Amino acid sequence: MISLAELAAIRDKMKDKVGVREGSAETRVVVGMATCGIAAGARPVLNAFVEGVNKEGLSDKVTVTQTGCIGICQYEPVVEIFEDGKEKTTYVKLTAEKVERIVKEHLLGGKIVEEYTIGANR
């Protein structure tokens, strides 16, 4: 016999998983996943974003998706973050470790990690 609390627990566990299919998040994290991006390590970066977003409970608000070549191959892995009503942020030469900070400071805290952006790496 299932209790009300158990039913609620299953719902909360599944909500995030099924929530991916709504696709109406306010913030979009787009990872460049062309050949150049993958060669430079975009796969672990993408996975780090997916894990970080879920871990921080941001999956209602943040969608993580990939795109093709953004055109600045020497800076790969490149990630762009689109937020409603704000300029897009472009992060370059990312690693899984850097992503952890971006999730905490930018996605959760709302503060851009300047040192990883394209402006700081030119």
Partner 1 sequence: MIRSHVLICGGTGCTSSHSDEIRGALENEIAAKGLAEEIKVVQTGCFGLCALGPIMIVYPEGTFYHSVTVEDVPEIVEEHLLKGRPVSRIVYHEKGDTDVKHATSLSETAFYKKQLRVALRNCGVINPENIEEYIGVDGYQALAKVLTEMTPEQVIDTILASGLRGRGGAGFPTGRKWQMARTLVPDADQKFVCCNADEGDPGAFMDRSILEGDPHAVLEAMAIAGYAIGSNQGYIYVRAEYPIAIKRLEIAIAQAKEYGLLGDNIFGTGFSFDVKLRFGAGAFVCGEETALMTSIEGNRGEPRPRPPFPAVKGLFGKPTILNNVETYANIPQIILKGADWFSSMGTETSKGTKVFALGGKIQNTGLVEVPMGTTLREVVYDIGGGIPNGKAFKAAQTGGPSGGCITAENLDTPIDYENLMRIGSMMGSGGLIVMDEDSCMVDIARFFLEFTVDESCGKCTPCRVGTKRMLEILDKIIAGNGTLEDIDRLEELANYVKSASLCGLGQTAPNPVLSTLRYFRDEYVAHVVDKKCPAGVCKNLLRYVIDPDKCRGCTLCARKCPVGAISGAVKEPHKIDSAKCVKCGVCMTTCRFGAISKQ
Residues that bind partner 1 (CB under 8 A): 1-4, 7, 10-11, 13-15, 17-18, 20-21, 23, 25, 31-35, 38, 46-47, 50-51, 54, 63-68
Pairwise CA distance, residues 42 & 65, whole Å: 12
Strands (E), 3-88: 27-32, 62-67, 79-83
Helix (H) or strand (E) holding 9: helix 4-19
Own/partner pairs, 16-24, CB within 8 angstroms, 24+ separation: 16/54, 16/59, 16/60, 19/59, 19/60, 20/59, 20/63, 23/63
The residue among 60 and 120 lying less far from partner 1, judged by its C-beta, is 60
The residue among 39 and 120 lying less far from partner 1, judged by its C-beta, is 39
Closest distance of CB 12 from partner 1, Å:
8
The residue among 17 and 101 lying less far from partner 1, judged by its C-beta, is 17
The residue among 53 and 113 lying less far from partner 1, judged by its C-beta, is 53
Closest distance of CB 55 from partner 1, Å:
9
Closest distance of CB 33 from partner 1, Å:
4
